[in-house]
Amino acid sequence: MSVLRPRHFLSLTAVLALTAGGTATAATAQDSSAALREVLFVGNNWDGTADVVKSTGDFAKIGQVNVIPDKAERLAEINADPIKWIYYMSIRNQVGEGHDQYVDDMYSTPDGRSMVVSRPSFADVVSIDLATGRINWRFPVAGYRADHMAVSPDGTRVAVSASTANKVQVLDIVTGKKVGEFSTGDKPHENVFTNGGKYIWNMSIGEVTTALDDPLVDWTKGDRHITIVDATTFKQVKSIDMRDRLDAIGLKNFSDAVRPAAFTPDWSKLYFQVSFFNGFLEYDIAADKITRVKTLPENPATNKDRTTWLLDSRHHGISMNPEGTKLCAAGTMDNYATVVDRASLQEGPLITASTPYWATVSGDGKDCVISEAGADKITAIDFATGEKVTSVNVGDHPQRVRLAHVPADWTGPSAG
């Protein structure tokens, strides 16, 4: 999910407040900021690794982080608890398609020294020191699975979906301490800090592992709605059930499970994907209604049986360029990605991709970067031309891709 280019670092004032108990000089803070390098984190879900690549240009690999250095300890803990073991195996056999889910989402801390990672199979969030590869802190989420995260604009807080507990928990990114939480619909998924960090939006997707995928039994998927809360008090501001908005424009057979989403730079419109649909919808926030629907091409080779689609997805992954003029959509089950003009909703070339599962924006804002979970690589697509720029090999089953920062001379954790 991308809105404007996310900046995961602090302002000079905030750095001064956090560094050396607030006694650091301005020169020290500026030197620290100058020593950071913008990168992309690529989470390799089945590997338990995160590749770190250049955020622009050739997207060359810089280093890799093992995000499960405590694997033996975590497995021993799970094996000793029958309930945890049942959920662990369920995640492996259903959500993970027979694989463990070791990394879902990741962000860097404001100083660029650590990577914060949500780990679905281990039901936690950890902070990993990028210099040593060791765990700084660990936060077990409520329930039995951790999912999507979002970082506040100032980089100080991270929100994580505790998907089996139907809540979002917000953590201090430096200490790992919980600063708040709020209830959501069934199976909270995507999180977004909006309006300069004033609100948090959460999209719940309901049950996505059942075979009850026909529109007639869509109601069995659970309570799915968008929850909007005040990002300071965590009190609910609004709840949006897309079922009513879809029905109002005659889309009664559409799922109301909101998947990845992208906001315009002025936060006036939301573009979102829903389960089983090859395309996306436009939602006017002030008018509180769906204003346009974009259907993207079907791949004739895609299996028509919905139960074969990955976790109820058809298309999963959408981003917007910094100017707000172009969208990039990942056609997960149709095996392509495409850039769409936001004004006309005309798609560009269909770029062949193997199970594209996410879409974000490059550091310079020029390219859409998708993860190809089926080919173990990321691919950059030019927003201006809609043409492929390059592909880079990464680890096993890449999913989330996020802009981040690391020390300028970083090439990976030390052997120690």
With 60 as the cut, is the pLDDT of residue 223 above it?
yes
28-76 residue pLDDT tens:
334 445 599 999 999 999 999 999 999 999 999 999 999 999 999 999 9
- State percent of the chain over pLDDT 90: 86
- What are the counts of helices (DSSP H) followed by strands (DSSP E) for the chain? 5, 28
**pLDDT at residue number 310:** 87
**Average pLDDT across the chain, whole number:** 91
Backbone angles phi, psi at 402, to 5 degrees: -135, 140
With 80 as the cut, is the pLDDT of residue 265 above it?
yes
Domain with 176 in it: 12-407
Strand partners, 203: 226
Question: Which structure tokens are listed for 24?
Answer: 């650091």
103-146 residue pLDDT tens:
999 999 999 999 999 999 999 999 999 999 999 999 999 999 99
Count the neighbouring beta carbons within 10 Å of the beta carbon of residue 192: 23
74-87 residue pLDDT tens:
999 999 999 999 99
Q: Is residue 88 part of a domain?
A: yes
Task: Give the model's confidence band at 93: pLDDT under 50 very low, under 70 low, under 90 confident, else very high.
Answer: confident
DSSP code string of 172-226: ETTT--EEEEEE-SSSEEEEEEEGGGTEEEEEE----SSS--SGGGGGGG----E
Using an 8 Å Cβ cutoff, are 49 and 100 in contact?
Answer: no
Q: Is residue 351 part of a domain?
A: yes
**pLDDT at residue number 65:** 98
Q: For 233-242, what is the mean pLDDT?
A: 98
Task: Give the model's confidence band at 98: pLDDT under 50 very low, under 70 low, under 90 confident, else very high.
Answer: confident
According to DSSP, residue 91 is labeled I
Q: What angle do CA 119, 122, 125 make, to 5 degrees?
A: 45
**pLDDT at residue number 209:** 86
Between 26 and 112, name the one with better pLDDT. Answer: 112
CA dist 209 to 164, 195, 277, Å? 13, 33, 17
Using an 8 Å Cβ cutoff, are 378 and 371 in contact?
Answer: yes
CA dist 312 to 87, 273, 276, 307, Å? 20, 11, 6, 7
- HSE-CB at 392 with a 13 A cutoff on CA atoms is 24
With 50 as the cut, is the pLDDT of residue 303 above it?
yes
Describe the chain by its helix, strand, coil percentages, rounded to 5: 15, 40, 45
Using an 8 Å Cβ cutoff, are 361 and 325 in contact?
Answer: no
Between 12 and 35, name the one with better pLDDT. Answer: 35
Q: For 248-277, what is the mean pLDDT?
A: 97
- Identify which of 236, 319, 254 has the alpha carbon closest to the alpha carbon of residue 40: 319
Task: Give the model's confidence band at 285: pLDDT under 50 very low, under 70 low, under 90 confident, else very high.
Answer: very high
Cα 333 from Cα 309, distance rounded (Å):
7
Using an 8 Å Cβ cutoff, are 19 and 31 in contact?
Answer: no
CA dist 385 to 12, 299, 350, Å? 37, 22, 12
- Identify which of 173, 178, 137, 189 has the alpha carbon closest to the alpha carbon of residue 404: 173
CATH of the domain at 271: 2.130.10.10
343-365 residue pLDDT tens:
999 999 999 999 999 999 999 99
Cα 150 from Cα 191, distance rounded (Å):
5
**pLDDT at residue number 137:** 98
Q: For 257-275, what is the mean pLDDT?
A: 97
Q: Is residue 89 part of a domain?
A: yes
With 60 as the cut, is the pLDDT of residue 366 above it?
yes
Between 27 and 43, name the one with better pLDDT. Answer: 43
**pLDDT at residue number 34:** 56
In 3-state terms, what secondary structure has residue 298? coil
Q: Residue type at 237?
A: V
Q: Is residue 1 part of a domain?
A: no
**pLDDT at residue number 309:** 93
In the chain, how many domains are there? 1
**Most distant CA atoms of the chain, gap in Å:** 63
Q: Is residue 91 part of a domain?
A: yes
Q: For 166-191, what is the mean pLDDT?
A: 98
- Identify which of 150, 111, 158 has the alpha carbon closest to the alpha carbon of residue 10: 111
Q: Is 196 left (phi over 0), alpha (psi -120 to 50) or beta?
A: left
Q: Is residue 123 part of a domain?
A: yes
Q: Is residue 360 part of a domain?
A: yes
Task: Give the model's confidence band at 234: pLDDT under 50 very low, under 70 low, under 90 confident, else very high.
Answer: very high
Which residues lie below 8 Å from residue 345, measured CB to CB, with a gap of 6+?
A: 292, 294
**pLDDT at residue number 8:** 36
Using an 8 Å Cβ cutoff, are 369 and 327 in contact?
Answer: no
Which residues lie below 8 Å from residue 143, measured CB to CB, with a gap of 6+?
A: 123, 162, 163, 164, 165, 166, 167
**pLDDT at residue number 415:** 57
Cα 228 from Cα 138, distance rounded (Å):
27
**Run of H or E including 258:** strand 258-263
**pLDDT at residue number 33:** 53
Task: Give the model's confidence band at 391: pLDDT under 50 very low, under 70 low, under 90 confident, else very high.
Answer: very high
Q: Is residue 235 part of a domain?
A: yes
Positive or negative torsion for Cα 205, 209, 212, 310 = positive
- Identify which of 124, 126, 204 has the alpha carbon closest to the alpha carbon of residue 167: 204
